[in-house]
Structure 1
Amino acid sequence: MRLVAFLVATLAVISGAFAVDVQKSVIITYPSGTPNSVVDQAKQAVRDNGGVILHEYHLIKGFAAKVGEKVLESVAAWGEPYNALIEEDEVVSAL
């Protein structure tokens, strides 16, 4: 019985070690009054954690990125005082 418990615990640890953060395509935008340092900090966090900045917007403050879900939680927390909007990038059609 102890062997089974040991094997289950070992498999749980191994599966956690090989867990991969799911990558999502997102658009992150900020209101116009947001300091540039906040946007730059979010972009740097994406890059530091293996994400990719796909596009930087100039008419609005924000960017499109492919990033892991764990990083999105951090970026959302930093942007909360500035009302950052994080939404999945998806195809939209009129019909």
Structure 2
Amino acid sequence: MIVRIMGEGQVEIAEADIDVLNELDGELEAAIETDDEDVFRVKLHALLDKVRQVGKALPADSLEPSELILPPADASIEEVREMLGDTGLIPG
């Protein structure tokens, strides 16, 4: 799965890593639901850090279609709330 982190580039994520990302996504959603800015910030950074850790960075000149687009690390709680779908940021 190709994932774009806005403002950073694309990474390829193995299907085996989706479950752990979904868990972090759920924690992020919970922070958004409670409107807890501090927890939101921690959970957003945890999700993005995990994507960077498990993902294989694609070359900067690669233009693969992204299956997921994640917000940048400095996104506001409102910006991320608008990006959430029925299954959060990460489907599955």
Please indicate, yes or no, whether the TM-score normalized by the shorter chain is above 0.5.
Answer: no
Question: What TM-score do you get using the length of structure 2 for normalisation?
Answer: 0.31
If asked which structure has higher relative contact order (CA below 8 Å, sep 6+), I would say 2
Larger radius of gyration: 1
TM-score by length of 1: 0.31
Select the structure that is richer in strand. 1
